[in-house]
């Protein structure tokens, strides 16, 4: 019995070791399955485990800004499409792939779609260039989201671009942060296309320059032509067009040869247009064709009015000629040069009669050294400006700066372009009579002053001027040679604007009222304050709206885009603005909103001029500009597919782990049967027999 007991103890220990081995194998089996579900990836190019599955998720972003349409025989965008196909050829069928176009905003072609060669090639064939500039920050932010949503072991992001200097030479801190995010979760490849020339002539500006925008008058329009290439452009012409509503088409007004434009230089040419029809007038200027035609045309819209009503408020009335505050201002406004004075109605009134005036009957109000500015008057003037009226303020010794600053506000927003201070004179050591300082502003009034010679500008002398501390929203147009002495400032408030002269409207503080510049500035100021030219000019991709004065909210109008396609839209009213039609500015040209009665309003939408500089960066310069070592910049001379495959490191081990789990399951099953079969079947002891059956049953489990 003692020998039998020892035998049973020894046998039980052996069974326990066998059970422990099976338990270990089964736990390892579960661990392999669980680990496989985590989809582990081995980032190595060699070793025993390098035969895992290589699944790739890719985001291919193609630059579709309008510089990509540059080229003579082949466009840059066509080469970008070829690069995209080369990248896609390295991706396996079914791998999730996103293709997007980059412009002012990203546009999806296919998002996280299983790769299929025919479908993707078809989508690339249908892709086109957008008339927009490249917004790198916005597109990179979208790429971060697209790469993050990929669930593959290998994630790659490709940016195919012409590496335009204007876009990539100085990328923002936000763009760098986005690049760092992408490189943290994926391989980032920047793929610049080959430089096949950068000659380009573009219209970078086309706008109203001077003259009257009243019916039966003439206006001058200027166009800036820029040579962005490396060589002079001796040949070329520009043609000015006006829309003829009778012919329902643009009619050429004048064609002008450009002459030679040196590289990096611009030339301004002018056209004169007769304005015979009231309402929105559509104009455009076009260059002769070159390697990039999208920037060869620019559009403009001006609102021609039947007339302008001006109220001149006299702060010091006098019956003696030349003595009243508004004498020279009224004479300057009524000055007729050809037909420029047509349709202009000028009324003068003493300052103490101002409360009796109905401001809604006037387009522009001129205040000349007006005292007694109170709360009621300030509120009326503020409402007048906010609704779209123009206000011209001349300084003087009778105005109370504190009262002007306090009451000329609309709902807490100051009307004046700065905090008005008391009058000042030249300091010791300064010229006792200030001159006009250098003109650096591109404002239309500044451009009008620039038409005079320097000798004529120097002949304007100012002995006194009111001090002003320019605030947010204020813009200095003209300055005096004295330190911190603005002469003319502007601030836009609501739909109107305020022009502030820090000198007087009469000869008390200067000879400005009898200077040739005086009538020019005042006449041009009327057009500027009433035409609201900037309200008709927009850029592709920017939010825009067509003002519909006199049209009720929720009314339906016909919106006609530059291609002539019509759609019915509702008129909306935003807080503090007139009724307007929102417009999606997807292409350059004229957008027109028409109401049933036949009246219409238009806006001009043009491409961003900065994209016209089509010079590109070479790969080494692009690497330095980006500044990240883990960004792969693939030069056009490099074999793109070779670079991709060399840097595509990573194997998903899920399949290999599942295979090992199956093998392990078979191995533990065989061992369980083998250990059970080794037990002695001939045992007659009932306890031992039951124990054997229990062990066998447990092993089968």
Q: What is the pTM of this model?
A: 0.75
Q: What is the CATH number of domain 49-198+614-652?
A: 3.40.50.410
Q: Report the distance separating Cα 578 and Cα 598, nearest Å.
A: 19
| Per-residue pLDDT tens digits for 457-489 | 999 999 899 999 998 889 999 999 866 789 999
Percent of the chain with pLDDT over 70: 88
Which residue, among 329, 374, 378, has the nearest Cα to 349 in the 3D structure?
329
Tell me what the mean pLDDT of segment 172-193 comes to. 94
Identify the pLDDT of residue 172. 93
Which residue, among 208, 253, 598, 522, has the nearest Cα to 364 in the 3D structure?
522
Residue 48 pLDDT exceeds 50: no
More confident residue, 20 or 123: 123
Written as six digits, the tokens of 271 are 């056209």
Tell me what the mean pLDDT of segment 563-579 comes to. 78
Q: Are strands 308-314 and 364-368 parallel, antiparallel or unpaired?
A: parallel
Identify the pLDDT of residue 384. 92
Residue 65 pLDDT exceeds 90: yes
Residue 509 pLDDT exceeds 50: yes
Identify the pLDDT of residue 595. 81
CATH of 199-306 among 3.60.130.10, 3.30.70.340, 3.40.50.720, 2.60.40.10: 2.60.40.10
Q: Report the distance separating Cα 668 and Cα 533, nearest Å.
A: 85
| Per-residue pLDDT tens digits for 302-329 | 988 888 999 999 999 988 878 899 999 9
CA-based torsion, 667, 673, 676, 682: positive or negative: negative
| Per-residue pLDDT tens digits for 165-175 | 999 998 999 99
Identify the pLDDT of residue 646. 87
| Yes or no: domain 308-531 corresponds to CATH 3.40.50.880 | yes
* Residue ranges per structural domain of the chain: 2-40+667-700, 49-198+614-652, 199-306, 308-531, 539-606
Give the Å distances, CA to CA, from 501 to 108, 417, 424, 530. Answer: 52, 11, 14, 18
More confident residue, 335 or 208: 208
- C-beta separation of 408 from 488 below 8 A: no
Identify the pLDDT of residue 543. 87
Identify the pLDDT of residue 597. 63
Outline where DSSP puts E strands in 471-585. 474-479, 486-493, 496-501, 537-539, 544-547, 556-560, 566-570, 572-573, 579-583
Identify the pLDDT of residue 123. 95
Identify the pLDDT of residue 47. 42
Written as six digits, the tokens of 14 are 């052996």
Residue 226 pLDDT exceeds 70: yes
| Per-residue pLDDT tens digits for 260-270 | 999 999 999 99
- Per this entry, what is the length of the chain? 701
Residue 98 pLDDT exceeds 60: yes
Tell me what the mean pLDDT of segment 655-680 comes to. 77
Identify the pLDDT of residue 552. 78
Q: What is the CATH number of domain 539-606?
A: 2.60.40
Tell me what the mean pLDDT of segment 171-187 comes to. 94
Identify the pLDDT of residue 340. 44
Q: Report the distance separating Cα 561 and Cα 541, nearest Å.
A: 14
Which residue, among 628, 625, 631, has the nearest Cα to 169 in the 3D structure?
625
Written as six digits, the tokens of 621 are 């310069």
49-198+614-652 against 308-531: fold identical = yes
Q: Report the distance separating Cα 186 and Cα 656, nearest Å.
A: 23
Buried b (16+ CB within 10 A) or exposed e, 581-595: bebebeebbbbbbbb
| Per-residue pLDDT tens digits for 122-178 | 999 999 999 999 999 999 999 999 999 998 888 999 999 999 999 999 899 999 999
Identify the pLDDT of residue 99. 97
Identify the pLDDT of residue 39. 66
Q: Report the distance separating Cα 117 and Cα 93, nearest Å.
A: 8
Q: Report the distance separating Cα 387 and Cα 107, nearest Å.
A: 38
Tell me what the mean pLDDT of segment 371-390 comes to. 90
The residues with which 297 forms a beta bridge, in sequence order, are 286
The residues with which 107 forms a beta bridge, in sequence order, are 101
Written as six digits, the tokens of 149 are 């949503």
Identify the pLDDT of residue 575. 53
Q: Are strands 217-227 and 556-560 parallel, antiparallel or unpaired?
A: unpaired
Identify the pLDDT of residue 426. 57
Q: Report the distance separating Cα 392 and Cα 501, nearest Å.
A: 8
Q: At what angle do helices 640-647 and 76-88 cross, to 10 degrees?
A: 40
Which residue, among 403, 395, 634, has the nearest Cα to 512 in the 3D structure?
395
């Amino acid at each position: 019995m003692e020998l039998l007991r020892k035998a049973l103890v020894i046998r039980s220990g052996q069974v326990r070791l066998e059970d422990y081995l099976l338990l270990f194998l089964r736990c390892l089996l579960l661990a392999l399955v669980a680990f496989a579900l985590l989809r582990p990836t081995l980032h190595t190019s060699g070793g025993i485990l390098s035969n895992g599955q290589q699944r790739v998720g890719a985001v291919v972003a193609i630059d579709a800004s309008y510089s990509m349409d540059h080229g003579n025989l082949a466009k840059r965008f066509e080469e970008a499409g070829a690069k995209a196909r080369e990248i896609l050829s390295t991706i396996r069928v079914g791998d999730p792939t996103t293709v997007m176009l980059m412009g002012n905003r990203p546009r999806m072609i296919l998002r996280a779609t299983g790769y299929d060669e025919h479908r993707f090639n078809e989508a690339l064939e249908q892709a086109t260039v957008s008339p927009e500039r490249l917004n790198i920050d916005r597109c990179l932010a979208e790429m971060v989201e697209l790469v993050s949503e990929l669930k593959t072991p290998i994630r790659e992001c490709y940016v195919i671009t012409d590496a335009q200097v204007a876009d990539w030479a100085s990328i923002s801190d936000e763009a760098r942060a986005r690049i760092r995010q992408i490189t943290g979760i994926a391989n980032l490849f920047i793929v610049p296309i080959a430089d096949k020339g950068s000659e380009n002539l573009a219209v970078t500006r086309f706008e109203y320059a001077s003259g009257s925008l009243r019916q039966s008058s003439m206006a001058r329009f200027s166009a800036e032509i820029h040579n962005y290439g490396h060589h002079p452009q001796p040949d070329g012409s520009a043609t000015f067009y006006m829309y003829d509503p009778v012919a329902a088409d643009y009619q050429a007004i004048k064609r002008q040869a450009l002459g030679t434009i040196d590289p990096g230089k611009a030339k301004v040419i002018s056209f004169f247009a007769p304005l015979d029809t009231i309402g929105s007038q559509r104009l455009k200027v076009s260059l002769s064709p070159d390697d990039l035609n999208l920037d060869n045309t620019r559009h403009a819209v001006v609102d021609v009015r039947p007339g302008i009503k001006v109220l001149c408020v006299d702060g010091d009335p006098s019956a003696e000629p030349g003595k009243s505050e508004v004498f020279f201002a009224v004479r300057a406004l009524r000055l007729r040069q050809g037909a420029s004075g047509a349709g202009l109605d000028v009324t003068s009134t003493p300052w103490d009669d101002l409360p009796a005036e109905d401001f809604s009957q006037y387009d522009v109000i001129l205040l000349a050294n007006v005292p007694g500015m109170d709360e009621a008057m300030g509120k009326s003037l503020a409402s007048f400006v906010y609704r779209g009226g123009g206000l011209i303020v001349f300084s003087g010794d009778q105005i109370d700066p504190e009262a002007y600053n306090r009451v000329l506000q609309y709902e807490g927003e100051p009307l004046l372009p700065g905090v008005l201070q008391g009058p000042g004179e030249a300091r010791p050591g300064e010229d006792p009579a200030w001159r006009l300082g250098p003109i650096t502003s591109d404002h239309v009034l500044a451009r009008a002053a620039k038409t005079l010679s320097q000798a004529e500008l120097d002949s304007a002398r100012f002995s006194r001027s009111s001090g002003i501390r320019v605030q947010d929203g204020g813009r200095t147009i003209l300055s005096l040679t004295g330190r911190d002495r603005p002469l003319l400032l502007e601030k836009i408030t609501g739909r109107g604007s305020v022009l502030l002269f820090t000198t007087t409207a009469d000869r008390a503080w200067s000879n400005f009222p009898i200077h040739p510049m005086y009538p020019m500035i005042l006449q041009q100021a009327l057009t500027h304050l009433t035409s609201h030219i900037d309200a008709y000019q927009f850029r592709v991709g920017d939010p825009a709206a067509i003002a519909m004065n006199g049209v009720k909210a929720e009314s339906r109008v016909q919106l006609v885009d530059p291609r002539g396609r019509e759609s019915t839209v509702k008129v909306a009213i935003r807080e503090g603005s007139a009724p307007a039609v929102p417009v999606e500015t997807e292409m350059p040209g004229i957008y027109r909103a028409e109401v049933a009665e036949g009246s219409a309003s238009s806006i001009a939408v043009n491409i961003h001029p900065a994209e016209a500089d089509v010079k590109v960066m070479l790969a080494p310069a692009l690497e330095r500009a980006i500044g990240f070592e883990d960004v792969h910049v693939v030069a056009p001379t490099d074999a793109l597919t070779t670079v991709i495959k060399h840097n595509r490191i990573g194997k998903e081990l899920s399949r290999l782990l599942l295979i090992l789990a199956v093998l392990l399951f078979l191995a533990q099953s065989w061992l369980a049967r083998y250990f059970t079969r080794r037990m002695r079947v001939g045992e007659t002891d009932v306890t031992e027999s039951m124990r054997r059956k229990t062990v066998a049953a447990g092993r089968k489990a």
